[in-house]
Structure 1
């Protein structure tokens, strides 16, 4: 903007632009602080998950708390129900296919077990290994409703998330636990379903995000200081 344009600009416009610039600097700093807090939370989560997932298998918790028990390694014995497994759409490191979800009767209610992954060409149960008990694996909270892009459709038997209560309702089962187990792999290495595919790697880019927001705050502050200094020099020259 030329000096002539700046000179003809009303004072309230200049004050508004300065206020907005200061507000942007404050917002960038707050966003950086938020990312720092997210960084601390993510580091605590990673440490907690590693401790739970790779520790010795324990019994199912009496009162499930997702914050405390997600990815906890457990061992449970129960009775597999004589029901056809439900296939839930999945994309894994092995490619697209399905999770094989099977219900098990336990003392605490119906427990859904993710026996593992099968590709589309192996979705026939005749290609699967026999379900065994006890089951060892990682606790996962139920995933209600579906995903951001798709919804479960129990009427047509189309599932995109592992919603334990909805799965039980679709089969007319009783009281159901609010979690499922990602089972470890059983049987031959190449057998289906392929268990043990739980993703335990969490992206952690919060530090780079925080530095980006702080850098933007510094750049805005430097730009504002330059404009104020230039304006002051112009006033002194005039």
Structure 2
């Protein structure tokens, strides 16, 4: 029996660790699904006024209404739209009635419309507060001089537009001929089911390897 002690101990310990990791991912899956459901319910709720000091941790995905004026100085963030191909999100400065200067994501324009003249002026808009997380390790740096943005970096865009680092993704165009608003979804990464299946699969493989090891000791 002493020959079986090592494989039994290692086999049981390994399986216990791998199964516990799988269970943890199942729990994370439930938490993430609940978070997404609550966020989607919040985005569907009635909009309120723009908070005095919006911050990502508290106000991400909050519906708001803003009244004021769309002014010159738009930025262009590379994107794509199904059925329309590559294009740009138009990020414009917006001066509110109470003297604030924020940013709005007006929506999508085709690549050939990048330099087109778009309507400006007084507007009352409804939208969602958003701090996009679009940058990965291989995302190129934004080309500010050419006005070619690979990611909507709110802080960097706000510095260029001399605005608050606040972005409202508009839900409806303010004027005819304005960019087409793009729907916003809760962009939470949710691969916990995949991770759980992986851990449980590794636990099964570990158990099979342990059985093979034990059988080899019995020969």
Same structural fold, with TM-score higher than 0.5 when normalized by the shorter chain:
yes
Cα distance in 1 for partners of 2:59, 2:142 equals 25
Cα distance in 1 for partners of 2:144, 2:133 equals 14
Tell whether 2:102 aligns with 1:116: no
> How many residues are treated as equivalent by the alignment?
213
Which residue number corresponds to residue 80 of structure 2? Answer: 91
For 1:1-238, what aligned pairs fall within 5 Å after superposition?
A: 25=15, 28-81=18-71, 83-93=72-82, 94-106=84-96, 107=98, 109-126=100-117, 128-130=118-120, 132-141=122-131, 146-148=135-137, 149-171=139-161, 173=162, 176-186=163-173, 191-200=177-186, 204-231=190-217, 233-234=218-219
Cα distance in 1 for partners of 2:179, 2:95 equals 20
Give the TM-score taking structure 1 as reference length. 0.73
Secondary structure of the residue aligned to 1:78 is strand
Q: Answer whether contact 1:143 1:164 (CA < 8 A) is retained.
A: no
Deviations 1:160-219, CA, capped at 9 Å, x for gaps: 122233223324x2xx43330110122689x44111432347664422431331132023
Deviations 1:8-62, CA, capped at 9 Å, x for gaps: xxx9xx96x8887667545533542442243123212211221111111111223
Cα distance in 2 for partners of 1:63, 1:130 equals 26
Give the TM-score taking structure 2 as reference length. 0.78
In structure 2, the CA distance between the partners of 1:20 and 1:48, relative to structure 1 (3 Å rule), is same
Deviations 1:59-85, CA, capped at 9 Å, x for gaps: 12234342442221110112333x231
Give unpaired runs (5+ residues) of structure 1: 1-10
Asked which structure has the greater RCO (Cα within 8 Å, sep 6+), the reply is 2
Higher helix share: 1
Deviations 1:102-130, CA, capped at 9 Å, x for gaps: 1012347421000000011222333x455
